[in-house]
Amino acid sequence: MENNTLWERDLLAENYKNAAFMNGDIAAVHLESAEDEAFWNNMLQHHRPGHYHFIHRSKSKKGMDTSGRSVCLSFLGYLDENFFVCIDSDTDCIRKGHNSLAEKFVLQTYAYSWESIICHIPDLQDRFSEINKKPKRSFDFSEFLNKYSSVALKGLALAIDCEQKLDDNILKNVFSFFKKQCTAEEFENNGEGYIKKVSNQLNQYLAQKTDTVIKKNIKILSNRGITESNAYMYVIGHNLYDLIVYIGTRCCSSKDLSFVNNILNDDYPLDGYEEVDMIHRDIKTIIGS
């Protein structure tokens, strides 16, 4: 059974490479889902403009038609510059730091997901101010996200155990406090009430660990490339993205103006900060500049 599984991976990989070659595509690229295509295509076009053969679904090792990160990674050993995969880092960076997988022909976000990346400070605020000239409600995304990130770092520090490993149960419980929506009261003063509520809930967990342990864990996270300035990008799930969409939609001045399409997703950031710069580095390693 195992040999059949290996043969199927090999056969699928060759089929994808051949299809890309026959169509004159630069390469075949397997994604976690169709929703990821716009982001990764934007990044790849910055290096080698042209058409890529994007794949959103494949047979799982059990023969089921499926998608996701595990399906992408099941092709390890059959990847090269003609067929590579793009994945969200999920919690990998929290666990092990920013370790490149480019030599295995894997591109990753170096944040929990690409949705986290496009909420980048201060790009988000700049795009919001430029496009939404007369906001229905004012909101300083930079101020909010800086405070959000500070609280998120404490949440991440709580989830590091005594062996410097990530406790998934604590991580899930901690980030359940980071709701995807906020009340009208929590929205006021650039989300001051939301941050205060999350901080108060986290304090119940923080009281169970000494300041020395929290500082030690923050140092561990710093060594893994996660600091107060970027911790918001590692909040699990799509809690950050969904919250920003909720707030931004409330602020848009016109029904004809979509916060998601016209502001958040309109122009993905291409460079200027560490996570995206690392993606560029990996793309150059795989397909050149």
pLDDT tens profile 192-242 = 999 999 999 999 888 888 889 999 999 999 999 999 999 999 999 899 999
What's the CA gap between 44 and 61, in Å, rounded? 28
Q: How sure is the predictor about 61, in pLDDT bands with cuts at 50, 70 and 90?
A: low
CA dihedral (211, 213, 218, 223) positive or negative: positive
List residues bridging with 65 in a β-sheet: 59
Domain count, the chain: 2
Do 27 and 10 fall within a single domain? yes
Do 106 and 128 fall within a single domain? no
Q: Are 145 and 124 in contact (CB under 8 A)?
A: yes
202 within domain boundaries: yes
235 within domain boundaries: yes
Which range of 39-48, 100-109, 161-170, 246-255 scores highest in mean pLDDT? It is 100-109
Q: Are 221 and 215 in contact (CB under 8 A)?
A: no
Do 43 and 152 fall within a single domain? no
Instruction: Quote the pLDDT of residue 268.
Output: 62
**Six-digit token pair at 183?**
């009340």
Angle at 54 between CA 270 and CA 102, to 5 degrees: 60
R_g of the chain, CA atoms, integer Å: 20
Whether the pLDDT of residue 3 is over 50: the answer is no
Antiparallel, parallel or unpaired: β 106-108 and 53-55:
unpaired
Whether the pLDDT of residue 96 is over 50: the answer is yes
Q: How sure is the predictor about 84, in pLDDT bands with cuts at 50, 70 and 90?
A: very high
Do 169 and 205 fall within a single domain? yes
Whether the pLDDT of residue 6 is over 60: the answer is no
- What's the mean per-residue pLDDT of the chain? 89
Do 129 and 103 fall within a single domain? no
Do 35 and 148 fall within a single domain? no
Higher-confidence residue: 127 or 134? 127
Q: How sure is the predictor about 257, in pLDDT bands with cuts at 50, 70 and 90?
A: confident
Whether the pLDDT of residue 4 is over 80: the answer is no
Which spans in the chain are helix H? 2-22, 37-45, 69-73, 92-96, 114-117, 123-131, 141-158, 168-175, 184-206, 211-223, 239-251, 274-287
The DSSP H or E segment spanning 53 is strand 53-55
Query: Closest Cα partner for 89 from 77, 103, 101, 78?
Result: 101
Instruction: Quote the pLDDT of residue 7.
Output: 53
Q: How sure is the predictor about 161, in pLDDT bands with cuts at 50, 70 and 90?
A: confident
pLDDT above 90 as % of the chain: 66
Q: Are 124 and 115 in contact (CB under 8 A)?
A: no
Angle at 255 between CA 251 and CA 261, to 5 degrees: 75
| Look-up of token digits 């009281």 | 207
Instruction: Quote the pLDDT of residue 1.
Output: 40
Do 83 and 97 fall within a single domain? yes
Do 177 and 235 fall within a single domain? yes
Q: Which range of residues forms the domain containing residue 283?
A: 2-114+278-287
What is the per-residue pLDDT across 29-38, written as a single tens digit (0 to 9) for each? 999 999 999 9
**Over residues 13-33, mean pLDDT:** 95
Do 186 and 256 fall within a single domain? yes
249 HSE (CA, 13 A, CB side): 11
Q: Are 111 and 93 in contact (CB under 8 A)?
A: yes
110 within domain boundaries: yes
